[in-house]
Structure 1
Amino acid sequence: MTKVIALANQKGGVGKTTTAVNLGIGLATEGKKVLLVDADAQGNLTDALGYREPDNLSISLATLLVKNMLEESYPPQKGILHHPEGIDLMPGNIELSAVEVSLVNTMSRETILRSYIDKVKKDYDYVLIDCMPSLGMLTINALAAADSVIIPVQAHYLPAKGMTQLLQTISRVRRQINPKLLVDGVLLTMVDNRTNFAKDISFVLRRDYGDKLRVFQTEIPLSIRAAETSAKGKSIYKHDPNGQVAEAYAAFTKEVKGIGKERRQTRQHQADHSR
């Protein structure tokens, strides 16, 4: 069964796109079929995977969302790009800005992205949606389409206020649109282990949210190597395979894979008890 995960945080620069790339390719190296969806008008995910001119692509996510809004049919695989590291990509670009404006006056406006993903997801084990850094209509669409959310948080920025806002939005989407939406957890990124400040933030985050949310055991270290991957159009596994960041993302990928297993076991346990 396909799992659809949204990577969301309304603050930019938290390592969301880097996480989408390296989690996606990490899952692919573990034998999973993965589609990455770039739902950000800046097209950072598309660019990070080596497609340097996202605005010049003839077909992007915006094209297909418009077709859904107009109820026009199209082949589900239309416009999907195949990356050499074994994942597929539905690219995003500046046209998504216009789509976001149009969504305001569209019927079923919160579920336009879901209707696209429902058409393609049968071919994949995982669909990862890289959300834009805002809580606008496209992010709401991503949350409406997802089974769960991963929240990357930068370790040198105390995220409490932004986190609260995001969690309120997730709760609202769960109540009104997508009752099955879960939070997989919070991922600390850009952790500078040389400083006490980063350790303090890790401690505060685990203390304040640890009882309500999973804070992933894996923390992604701060590294110039990770920043370079976007410029190279490849994952950290190809760019610096023996480095700390590659090791951390491989461990994080295993944690994410383990969540589904845990939940299945919990459901089985509950079913056994209710008999």
Structure 2
Amino acid sequence: MGKAVVISFANQKGGVGKTTTVSEVGENLARVYDKKVLMIDIDPQSSLTTIKGAMPQILNEDLKTMSNVMMKENDLSDIILPIKKNLDLAPSTLFLSDVELNLVSATMREIILQKAISKIVDQYDYVLIDCPPSRGLLTVNALASSDYVIIPVQSEYQALIGMQLLKNTIKNVQHEINNNLKVGGYVITMTSHTNHSNETAESIKQDKFNTIVEIPRSIDVADAGVANMSTHEYNSDNKAGLQYLRLSKHVTEMEK
């Protein structure tokens, strides 16, 4: 095992399927491709931590989380929870939102996560980062740490408005902090057969960043999340699950 490929999943708009995409890719890489994967939840909403079933243990046992890592109180290795074979989680809670405010005055505030990941990067094949729906310091830290950024984007008109702002953030990080950051492309989520969805998807595909896959709406995606497994594992014939599996294969072809 060499150094992990670090991938952020980012979009400043919420509800576009970032957390689901991280979970699906993580599950597929670990189970189908036998890769050692760390998922980092750096979103104060802590949805990834919740759907992976770690929140009760964190609260009951008062475990350390990404808040402690970002405040430089603990290393990543101190907080990592094993979820399944090959699949680990660095969890977060709502307290991470307070931490972001404190980061404003921190020394080298943009690369705290980068330094934390550097200590464990040789222990994994992939590190997947679930970013918050904002362009704040937590997202900047994630992008500063990453080899790639993948952008989940919903096939609706509002998605087009936010794309340019996110692209500006990525460009700034590339120029000022991490010139090795590459854009892995768009994942168009929750597509349907409506004219609006189709027109928006076509507009996204015309962007200079390539579109990797389109994920159709499916109740199986939500049901698989509740069952704490990938959609493909839950229902191997499901079209959304097959597209997430295709995305996971694409990730395995990414190189540092």
Q: Does 1:38 align with 2:41?
A: yes
TM-score, structure 2 normalization: 0.92
CA distance in 1, matches of 2:65, 2:52: 14
Contact (CA 8 Å) 1:143, 1:170: kept in 2 or not? yes
**Change in 2 beyond 3 A, CA 1:121/1:37:** same
Give 1:252's aligned amino acid: L
**Change in 2 beyond 3 A, CA 1:47/1:113:** same
How far off its partner does 1:14 sit? 0.3
Give 2:131's aligned amino acid: C
How far off its partner does 1:2 sit? 1.5
Q: Does 1:196 align with 2:188?
A: no
Aligned to 2:247: 252
Aligned to 1:62: 67
Aligned to 2:15: 13
**Sequence identity percentage:** 38
Q: Does 1:133 align with 2:133?
A: yes
- Equivalent in 229, 238, 241 of residue 236 of structure 2: 241
Gaps in structure 1 of 5+ consecutive residues: 265-275
Contact (CA 8 Å) 1:14, 1:152: kept in 2 or not? yes
* Rg (Cα) greater in structure: 1
Give 2:22's aligned amino acid: A
Q: Deviations over 1:21-73 (max 9, x none)?
A: 0111111120211100000111100111122437614111111222x2xxx5x
How far off its partner does 1:75 sit? 5.8
Aligned to 1:213: 209
**Change in 2 beyond 3 A, CA 1:107/1:139:** same
Aligned to 2:169: 169
CA distance in 2, matches of 1:48, 1:229: 10
CA distance in 1, matches of 2:178, 2:137: 15
CA distance in 1, matches of 2:187, 2:8: 13
How far off its partner does 1:118 sit? 0.9
Aligned to 1:104: 104
**Change in 2 beyond 3 A, CA 1:167/1:54:** farther
Aligned to 2:54: 51
How far off its partner does 1:169 sit? 0.5
TM-score, structure 1 normalization: 0.86
Give 1:196's aligned amino acid: N
Q: Secondary structure at the match of 1:225?
A: helix
Give 2:230's aligned amino acid: S
CA distance in 2, matches of 1:197, 1:182: 30
- What's the Cα RMSD here? 1.8
